[in-house]
Structure 1
Amino acid sequence: MRERWRAVGVLAVALFAVNVVARLVTRFGFSDDDAAADRVSWLMFLVIGLVLAVVTFRWAADRPVARWSTDVLGAVAVALALTVFVGPLVVGKNPFAGGAGLFFAQIWLYLAAAGAGVLVGYLVLTALGRDFRSRQLKRYAEIRTARPRKIVRR
């Protein structure tokens, strides 16, 4: 159980670290250029989606859906809270400085990137037939065909 929560915590910290790096690059590298700052932001969301796709691909291969999905959901929730409330403070801004529209847009974009990443990772794994459920069904079919049929006498 301890390793399970450690993995969730590491994923949450990694997702938050991606956000902090993007905020620092935007602040120190592109503080005047809004177009470049937007590109860095989109790149951050792409990296978050890719990280979650890879993690989902790895975790869904050997865990049931209920287990890995709650782990990913917990990590995304913690990382989202850190990103929205602590991330702006790292670069010296107020989390609500841009207004409610920007605040909620950031939440929706983060959830969209996270959802797309998880979906891509799971769909690729399922298409390859390497997810937990497909492997269970394959083992069941192999066991059922390996047993000889019972002969019933009448």
Structure 2
Amino acid sequence: MRERWRAIGLLAVALFAVNVVARLIIRFGFDGGDDTTAADRVSLGMFVVIGLVLAGLAFVWGRRRPVGRWAADMAAGVGLALLLTVLVGPLLVGQNPFGGGAGTFFAQIWLYLAATAAGVLLGYLVLTALGLDHRSQTLKRYAEIKTAKPRRPVRR
């Protein structure tokens, strides 16, 4: 159980770190975010990196564990990272989390959830298409065991 929570915490910290790096790039690289086009590009890059991290993680975890287990772990990690990103992230660069209004606040949440869902879905679909997911491997082992046993003769 301890290893499971460690993995969830590391996932949340990694996703939050990607957000902090993006916020610092916007803050110091583009004069505090006055250039909205550059800030939008960095934010888009952040969402792409988050999606790719989760796609890779879904690919790796999906090979070793059943969907229910790794999906719950990933949902917990993403939830923690989302809370940190929305509530703590702006404070690190000297902004108010609710300073842009409710629309901006909830838009950030929906964009984050869309990027994470797209990443997880991409990773799992690639894994399933290649036949490397946990369920496919389990069914493959079952079929190999069943075909390896000699057939019993039927007595009449």
Q: Please report the TM-score for the alignment, with normalisation by the length of structure 1.
A: 0.99
Deviation, 1:151, is 1.1
Q: Deviations over 1:88-143 (max 9, x none)?
A: 00001100000000000000000000000000000000011000000000000000
**Matching residue of 1:86:** 88
Alignment RMSD: 0.6
Unaligned runs of 5+ in 1: none
Equivalents in 1 of 2:143, 2:80: separation in Å?
Answer: 40
**Count of aligned positions:** 154
Q: Unaligned 5+ residue runs, structure 2? A: none
Match of 1:144 in 2: 146
TM superposition outliers: structure 1 runs of 4+ over 6 Å? none
Match of 1:73 in 2: 75
Provide the rounded CA distance (Å) in 2 between the counterparts of 1:142 and 1:55.
Answer: 28
1-structure distance, mates of 2:153, 2:5? 50
Determine helix, strand or coil for the equivalent of 1:42.
helix
For 1:42-61, what aligned pairs fall within 5 Å after superposition?
A: 42-61=44-63
- Counterpart for residue 12 of structure 1: 12
For 2:133 and 2:121, locate their aligned partners in 1 and report how far apart those are by CA, in whole Å.
Answer: 13
Letter in 1 for 2:45: L
Question: Where does residue 135 of structure 1 map in the other structure?
Answer: 137
Q: Corresponding residue for 1:97? A: 99
SS of 2:144 mapped into structure 1? helix
TM-score (norm 2): 0.97
